[in-house]
Amino acid sequence: MYRALIVAAVLLLSSAIPGSPQEASSSQKPLKLCSRDKTPPCADKGPRILSAEDPHYPEEARKAKLQGAVVLKAVVGTDGIAHDIEVVTSRGTPLDKEAIRCVKNWKFQPGQLGETPVPTEISVEVAFKFHGKFEPGH
C-alpha cells in the first residue's frame, strides 16, 4: 500500500504584503507573521486552510521508490489561493510536481493585518510515504 500524506504543517513563515496577489509576486517583498522575533509591519493572523486536496502518489515516483516530505513556500493571496509556489526541499521531480499541483488547488482563508486580508507567505510540508513493499503494478 502506498499513499501520499499531507502533513498539515502549514508552517506560517508568514508575510503580509499590502495589495493584490499580483503585487505580492512582483515588486513587494513579503513580510513575516508577527511573532516574538518579528514585530510590525507583519500579518497578525496567518492563512487558514479551508479545503485541501490530497496529493496522489505518482506512479513514476513509486517505481523510483521516492518518498519523503516536499517543503514548499508560497504566498496566499487575498483571493485565498496559493501563488508564487517554490520548492524549498525537494524529494524528486515527480513528488515536487505533485505537491505543487496539489497546493495550487487548496483554498485558504487569507492572512490578516487587523481586519484587512493581506497576502501572506507560508511554508507547507507535503509528505509522501510508502507503506508496505514497493511492488510493480501496485
pLDDT top residue among 136 and 97: 97
Q: What is the pTM of this model?
A: 0.74
Could you tell me which CATH number the domain at 2-130 has?
3.30.2420.10
For the record, the C-alpha cell of 71 comes out as: 517543503
Are the beta carbons of 77 and 112 closer than 8 angstroms? no
* pLDDT at site 106: 97
State the pLDDT at residue 94: 95
Tens-digit pLDDT profile for residues 52-65: 999 999 999 988 88
Indicate the length of the chain as a whole number. Answer: 138
pLDDT tens-digit map of 36-92: 776 667 788 899 999 999 999 999 998 888 999 999 999 999 999 999 999 999 999
The residue extents of the domains of the chain are 2-130
Q: What is the largest CA-CA distance in the chain?
A: 53
CA-to-CA distance for 7 and 3, rounded, in angstroms?
12
3-state class of 81 per DSSP? coil
